[in-house]
Amino acid sequence: MEPITLAKVQELINEFARKDVYIHLETTNGAYASHFNEDFFSAGAYIRNARVNYEHGKIIGDGPFRAGLKLDIGWIYAEGLTHYEKTEKNQLLLAGHDNSGKLAVALQISPTPF
């Protein structure tokens, strides 16, 4: 994976807009652990192969980055993104790694199920 370059990743997000695609969105405890002290629990979320068709998408920030996909009924949103990869299967993989290099968040877009 490569560090996110806003212009390049925005271009890749745009390629999937207004098409039926599959989304994988995952957070691990690392995504939230820095916001909680030892008295709180950490949290995570996971969704895989949700078929969506987004109107447009946007990646913003100074790093780590935030990406959002605008659906007709709401948003898919991921925060803390640091790296990306475009695979041979035409999948866009966005990932956020914490300071120790562990995966904290993943947002992946594919024309076929994962």
State how many domains the chain has: 1
pLDDT at res. 45: 86
pLDDT in tens, 59-89: 999 999 999 999 999 999 999 999 999 999 9
Report the pLDDT value the prediction gives residue 100, as an integer from 0 to 100.
86
Domain that holds residue 13: 2-110
1-34 per-position pLDDT tens digit: 999 999 999 999 999 999 999 999 999 865 444 5
Residue type, 67: A
Per residue in 99-108, pLDDT tens? Answer: 888 899 999 9
What pLDDT score was predicted for residue 31? 45
Neighbours of 35 (CB within 10 A): 9
Find out whether the peptide bond into 3 is cis, omega within 30 degrees of 0. no
The answer for residues whose C-beta is within 8 angstroms of residue 47's C-beta and 6 or more apart is 23, 24, 25, 26
Report the pLDDT value the prediction gives residue 113, as an integer from 0 to 100: 97
CATH number at 66 reads 2.70.180.10
Q: Which residues contact 106 (CB under 8 A, 6 or more apart)?
A: 24, 25, 26, 27, 78, 93, 94, 95, 96
More confident residue, 38 or 57: 57
